[in-house]
Amino acid sequence: MAAKEIKQIIREINDAGYEVLRSKGGHYKVMTQQGHLVFSLPSTPGRGRALNNLRASLVRKGVLSKTTRSTR
């Protein structure tokens, strides 16, 4: 289920106008349209609150808004 939730977050990031690339090490890189690295996220989150913490970090960086939730 966690991989499904990561894919959901990646869709939300793409919908917000950012590009998500997979690095050689397996992490995802969140890039601006100009090619600047904004954030790096794991391909497999940890347990517990990891996904909530990831979403909160993306909100603090300005990538997602607090109300951003894709309905796909």
What range does the domain containing 16 cover?
Answer: 2-60
Residue 47 structure tokens:
């347990």
For residue 44, the domain's CATH number is 3.30.920
Mean pLDDT, rounded, for 15-22:
95
Residue at 56 is within a domain: yes
Segment 22-70, tens digit of pLDDT: 999 889 999 999 999 999 988 887 777 888 888 899 999 999 988 755 5
DSSP string, 20-65: EEE-TTS-EEEE-TTS-EEEEE-SS--STTHHHHHHHHHHHTTSS-
What is the torsional sign of CA 55, 56, 62, 67? positive
Residue at 23 is within a domain: yes
Residue at 39 is within a domain: yes
State the pLDDT at residue 56: 92
Residue at 71 is within a domain: no
pTM given for the model: 0.81
The Cα–Cα gap between 15 and 9 comes to 10
Residue at 45 is within a domain: yes
Residue at 35 is within a domain: yes
